[in-house]
Amino acid sequence: MPLTLLAPPWILLLTGLGAVGTIGLTALTRRGGRRLPELLLAGGLVGLWVMGARPASLQEVERQVPGRVAVLVDDSRSMTLRGPGDRPWSDRVGEVLGTLGPDVEVYHFGGDLAAGPAAGWEQRDSDLGAALSSFAARSAGRPYAGVVLISDGLDRGALRRGWQRDGALQWGPLPGPLTIYAAGAPSAGGDLAVGALTLPSVAYAGEPLPVRARIRGGGFEGREVPVQLLSEEGVVDEGTVSIGPEGWGEVTLEATPRQVGPAVLWVQVPDLRGDASPLDNRAPAVVQVVRDRLRVLHVAGAPSWDVKFLRRFLKEDPSVEMVSFFILRTTADMSAGYGGSELALIPFPYRELLSDELPGFDVVILQDFDQQPYLQGDAEVLGQLRDFVTEQGGGLVMVGGPQAFRAGGYAGTAVEGVLPVALGRGAPWVDEEVVPSLTPAGRLHPITRLEPTEDQSAQGWARLPALEGLNLVQGLAPGAVALLDDAAGRPVVAVREVGAGRTMALLSDESWRYAFAEAGEGRGNQAYLRLWKGALRWLARDPQSQAVLAQVDDTSGAVGVPVSLQVIARGPGFRPAPGARVEVAVQRDGLPVDRLAGLTGEDGVALLSWTPAEAGSYRLQVLARQGDTSLGSAEAAVAVSAEDPELRERSPDLAFLQALAASGRYYPPESLGPPRLDQGQVWVEREERLTDLSAHPLLVGATLLLLGLGWLAGRREARP
């Protein structure tokens, strides 16, 4: 049995010093014989010190405690709905707790689980699966005699969605048997509503997007109900759903989004006679639309290894649709007097491609292409290529070689105005070994990021071979950034955002060597593939390659519920842009309704909040600037319902609760009874008991005896 001292250290110190001082004084004043009084008093003082130190024995005690009953109460706003007699559904909680008695553990939940009784049924979310899982984790293996759930079953989490979709209920074990007391009462009359919508999180532009809608129709069993699918442009598909005997029906509709970016869709059913709650007849969804395939126009001046490798990459990539031209008939060939049957090469249809067909492409690649024999500096065509970038948001790549850049006759043309390099005058090409290295911007940019981390990417570039030949330019264009340069600081790869589009310059025709070099070391051609895949994604404005990103916490909102918007701003080198000014224009159904503004922190992130006042489809158009420099733009979308999502459904989902309680016990709203309990569940509690020994009779008696004897002995010796 271990001992411990309970007194504070300062008491131990004072009483100890007193006892030691008295004993010392006794020893110093001893003259000759024994000094019995002093010794007895010293012993008494030691006893007082021991009593002041409060010695205690420490003992560990175990006891078995019967498992308790835990009660989980739905604290969401749907519990405020009223049934017959104008009684709120939440009255069910008091009825159940009254039958269970006071000796229970009570928790409440909305989106999260918390200890204590319901806080007023103001939670704007209800996630039954998360509450059950959280309670199981919180119990930490402690067994319970029973777990009681009081809810209306209107779960908006994954548990009910999975059950509605395929009848599956996937959730972990509880620390005790489950009993469910259902709350609520079905609405008087019928209730037609759009329930769960099932659709992919990503859609492809130009491809059909299936939207599966589950329609609830209590009171409309056996009827055919029309259903519409709408976008911001209007109705895009229509169908009918047959409401089954259980009060549910399903229908699949299709939309074909055309524009890349967030798209807002709505599924709605009509307001029929006998529908008790028309406000839940419309449900929104937001889907991100991406390109299915990139359309790339590839124009090469002459066959070469570089052309061969790039054409092969573009042809083998299933996400790319390529139109390619090379070894073409020039203007001089056509004006030399030859007949069409005497020429093997086809003429380059540059006017059709670079004017009429140009808007249909996402990226244009001019590879070692001298425009002079074909376009002869046609200002109109070259201007259309410039407008393709600046106004239509297209991507333009110029790949080097002896016929590119200066040698291709682009100096002073409209195309030079959008390139990331200034061409100038002088020698157009040097045939020498060039060793590219990453610039600080290149370490972060998605085009030159060959590996997950900066250091790994730099090591990857260091392994690649030198290039033979480089196009010479005057330097970088305004706003352009070099991603690779050589030892002399000459750009090898440069990029630029100009107007609505992006351009890239690769000032060599030797990138094909990167595929051979990696393959020779057993790494395949990953460096070459990642370079060009990254380039195409960036040029085509893949969402993750944007310098500015906008994300909302929930794309399905409700009137009066704040929407959180996170804006991530990065500079030209893709480093975080601290102190950038973020401006947000909020549009509802195409009309401006609000404006937001804020600044990014050191991490380049700005957090903004906005509260919609009306239902509708909203677009949040974001612009970010750092000083006078535009960092870019982004867009997010939110579909706002007229009513709180927690109040859309006006009848409890008793079938879901009954399925959830299949292995336990279930009581419908009008019924009460005892919960299912496992009385064999016990919990072993261990506690430490301290027994204070400072008042023990033996210690007190011995101390008083020594002090008394010392006093008497002193009196005896003091007598003459």
Inform me whether the pLDDT recorded for 384 exceeds 70: yes
The class level of CATH for 546-642 reads: mainly beta
Amino acid 689: pLDDT: 72
Q: Whose CA is closest to 499, among 405, 582, 395, 380? A: 395
Q: Which DSSP string corresponds to 139-169?
A: HTT---SEEEEEE-S---SHHHHHHHHHS--
Res. 345: pLDDT tops 70: no
Distance CA 622, CA 584 (A): 5
- pLDDT of 645 above 90: no
Separation CA 449–CA 446 (nearest Å):
5
Q: What's the CA gap between 280 and 713, in Å, rounded?
A: 98
Whole-number Å distance between alpha carbons of 334 and 190: 77
pLDDT tens track for 586-616: 998 778 999 999 999 998 999 999 999 888 8
Q: What is the pLDDT of residue 643?
A: 65
Burial label for 393, CB within 10 Å (0-12, 13-18, 19+), is: middle
Q: What is the sign, positive or negative, of the torsion defined by CA atoms of 76, 81, 86, 89?
A: negative
Residue 487 to residue 464: CA distance in whole angstroms: 15
**Residues 195, 189: Cα–Cα separation, whole Å:** 18
Topology annotation, domain 68-185+652-680: Rossmann fold (3.40.50)
| Of the candidate ranges 371-375, 404-408, 529-533, 708-712, the one whose mean pLDDT is the lowest | 708-712
User: What's the average model confidence in pLDDT over 209-214?
Assistant: 92
Greatest Cα pair distance in the chain: 157
Q: Is the pLDDT of residue 115 over 90?
A: yes
Residue 686 pLDDT:
67
> Among the listed ranges 550-554, 627-631, 692-696, which one has the minimum average pLDDT value?
692-696
The domain limits of the chain are 3-64+687-718, 68-185+652-680, 191-289, 294-539, 546-642
Residue 687: strand pairing partners? 61
User: Coil, helix or strand for 118?
Assistant: coil
Q: Which residue has the higher pLDDT, 340 or 58?
A: 58
328 pLDDT band, cuts 50/70/90, is low
Q: Where are the alpha helices (DSSP H) in 614-720?
A: 654-660, 697-718
Lookup: tokens for 450: 């060959």
Query: Which residue did the predictor score with more confidence, 239 or 197?
Result: 239
Q: What is the pLDDT of residue 506?
A: 97
pLDDT above 50: residue 622: yes
pLDDT in tens, 450-466: 887 788 888 889 888 89
d(CA 269, CA 286): 18
Each residue's pLDDT tens digit, 473-498: 999 999 899 999 999 999 999 999 99
The CB-side HSE value for 679 (13 A sphere, CA atoms) comes to 0
pLDDT band at 73 (very low <50, low <70, confident <90, very high): very high
Q: For the chain, give the percent of residues with pLDDT over 90.
A: 42
Question: Which one is predicted more confidently, 546 or 363?
Answer: 363
User: pLDDT by residue (tens digit) across 212-226?
Assistant: 999 988 888 899 999
- The CATH number of 191-289 is which of 3.40.50.12280, 3.30.1340.10, 2.60.40.10, 2.60.120.10? 2.60.40.10
With cut-offs at 50, 70 and 90, classify the pLDDT of residue 420.
very high
Spatial CA neighbour of 252 closest among 169, 313, 334, 165:
165
Q: Return the CA Rg of the chain.
A: 40
HEC per residue, 13-67: HHHHHHHHHHHHHHHHHCCCCCCHHHHHHHHHHHHHHHHHHCEEEEEEEEEEEEC
pTM of the predicted model, to two decimals? 0.54
- Describe the crossing of helices 513-520 and 526-539 by its angle, rounded to 10 degrees: 140
pLDDT, average across residues 323-341: 55
Q: At what angle do helices 9-29 and 36-53 cross, to 10 degrees?
A: 170
Q: What are phi and psi of 139, to 5 degrees?
A: -65, -20
- Residue 139 clears pLDDT 70, i.e. is over it: yes
pLDDT at 336: 43
Fold for the domain defined by 294-539:
Rossmann fold (3.40.50)
Q: How confident is the model at residue 26 (pLDDT cuts 50, 70, 90)?
A: low
Q: Where are the beta strands (DSSP E) in 104-255?
A: 104-109, 113-115, 146-151, 178-182, 191-198, 202-204, 209-218, 224-231, 234-242, 248-255
**Is 343 a residue whose pLDDT tops 50?**
no
Same fold, 294-539 and 546-642: no
pLDDT tens-place string over residues 143-196 = 899 999 999 999 988 899 889 888 888 778 899 999 999 999 866 567 788 887
State the pLDDT at residue 372.
85
Q: How far is CA 224 from the centre of its chain?
A: 40
Query: How, if at all, do strands 146-151 and 178-182 pair?
Result: parallel
Q: Show the 3-state SS of 545-595.
A: HCCEEEEECCCEEECCCCEEEEEEEECCCCCECCCCEEEEEEEECCEEEEE
**Strand, coil or helix: what is 456?**
helix
- How many residues can be counted in the chain? 720
